[in-house]
Amino acid sequence: MPFASGPKLVVDRLTPLFRRKYFDGKEAVLFTYDEDDNEIALIPLDQYFDRDFVTKIDNEDNSAVIAASGFFKDRGMMPEQTIRYRPEWDESLGGDNVDGGLRIDLDQEPEFPSS
């Protein structure tokens, strides 16, 4: 399941299998950025909170859309073209109340999908 970032709108369409495994029943995602390791984390949440970098999961057609453009714009990280990264599930993310999250290493070799 690649994480795609784009120049105008940054979204991630989670495949049905991936969504069921990690995001089923979740209402929102918390985005974090670790500048030292150059990594982004997406931590699924049971409910939505009106906080910075928490966005609702839009569940549609057995997939999920997570809008992330605000997160990237606020951090000055908006790419000029769509880029895909391969995330890894990390059970250590999120602390005691969350079962983990996706870790995306931005130093990995990205994919540049065709339009």
For residue range 60-95, list pLDDT tens digits in order: 665 566 777 778 888 888 777 777 778 888 999 888
Q: Does any domain span residue 90?
A: yes
**Average pLDDT score over residue span 18-40:** 86
Q: What is the pTM of this model?
A: 0.74
Rg over alpha carbons for the chain, rounded to the nearest Å, is 13
CA distance 94 to 43: 6
Identify whether 115 is part of a domain: no
Domain that holds residue 83: 3-105
**Total Cβ atoms within 10 A of residue 83:** 18
Domains contained in the chain, number: 1
Q: What is the pLDDT of residue 6?
A: 47
